[in-house]
Amino acid sequence: MGQRIGQNAFAIPANNFEFGSASRYISDFRQPPIFRDNFSVVKRFNMFEVREVPVRTTIRADFFNAFNRTNFRVNGSVGNANFGRATTPQQGPRLITMGLRVEF
């Protein structure tokens, strides 16, 4: 790890359309990784037959952020009082959707 970068390491340009004091990319200042655990469970089967035509049924459940991981976004706005602090989540809470489909 390199040196810690604080808010005083950056300067806001005096005029519009001028470059500031920071390089284009700072390797020590990155957002934390995002871990996503999404998966689906699907079951398809024939319920019964009507005039030799099967009535097919599909039951599914989709899990988004299944393990409810919290990933925070780091504030990188120079001049903001919360500069360098993890303040807001990068992704939402766990979300589960379920569906039933009958084809005849």
pTM higher than the cut 0.75:
no
pLDDT at 84 over 70: yes
pLDDT at 64 over 60: yes
pLDDT band at 46 (very low <50, low <70, confident <90, very high): very high
| pLDDT score of 90 | 76
Contact present, 53 and 104 (Cβ < 8 Å): yes
Residue 23 maps to a domain? no
Torsion of CA 23, 24, 26, 32, to 10 degrees: 150
Residue 7 maps to a domain? no
Residue 75 maps to a domain? yes
Residue 47 maps to a domain? yes
Expressed as residue numbers, the domain containing 78 is 32-103
Q: What is the CA radius of gyration of the chain?
A: 25
| pLDDT score of 98 | 98
Percent of the chain with pLDDT over 90: 30
Structural domains of the chain, count:
1
